């Protein structure tokens, strides 16, 4: 039973570039949430996708966008990268239909902006 998988594991970009991060949820899960975790801080909620629609959004600018595909996998896109976007990006999946279920996290993508 595969857990949450994310790719790539590490990425280096320069300011102004664009990046796409990918996530496959745990088998049987239908909801994907994305979090940004800066060094030494707790994960910050970016947005949540369910039924291919953005359902909830945290306090992040429009430069952060996402998508969910019919197979429940998801992408996080960040445009016009800033130095402050350097962080660990975590994807978490859950089964929405069962209510407030625990989040199952992937290992994350470590994004470094030069």
Partner 1 sequence: GQQVMQIPQYQHVQEGEDFTTYCNSSTTLSNIQWYKQRPGGHPVFLIQLVKSGEVKKQKRLTFQFGEAKKNSSLHITATQTTDVGTYFCAGRAGTGTASKLTFGTGTRLQVTL
- Which one, 32 or 80, has the nearer CB to partner 1? 32
Of 107, 90, 104, the residue nearest 31 (C-alpha)? 104
Residue 33 or 78: which CB sits closer to partner 1?
Answer: 33
Provide, rounded to whole angstroms, the least separation between the CB of residue 111 and partner 1. 15
Residues found near partner 1 in the complex (CB under 8 A): 33, 35, 41-45, 48, 50, 55-56, 58-59, 90, 96-97, 99-100, 102-108
- Give min distance, CB of 37 to partner 1, in A: 9
DSSP structural state of residue 63: T
* Dihedral pair phi/psi, residue 29, rounded to 5°: -90, 150
Is the Cβ of residue 70 or residue 97 nearer to partner 1 in the bound state? 97
Tokens of 2: 């595969």
How far is 36 from 25, CA to CA, in rounded Å? 17
């Amino acid at each position: 039973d595969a857990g949450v998988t994310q790719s790539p594991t590490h990425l280096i970009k320069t300011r102004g570039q664009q990046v796409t991060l990918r996530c496959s949820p745990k088998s049987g899960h239908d909801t994907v949430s994305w979090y940004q975790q800066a060094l030494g801080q707790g994960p910050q909620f970016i947005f949540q996708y369910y039924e291919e629609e953005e359902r909830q959004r945290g306090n992040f600018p429009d430069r952060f966008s996402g998508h969910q595909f019919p197979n429940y996998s998801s992408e996080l896109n960040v445009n016009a990268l800033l130095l402050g976007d350097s962080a660990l990006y975590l994807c978490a999946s859950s089964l929405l239909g069962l209510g407030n279920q625990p989040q199952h996290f992937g290992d994350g993508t470590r994004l470094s902006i030069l």
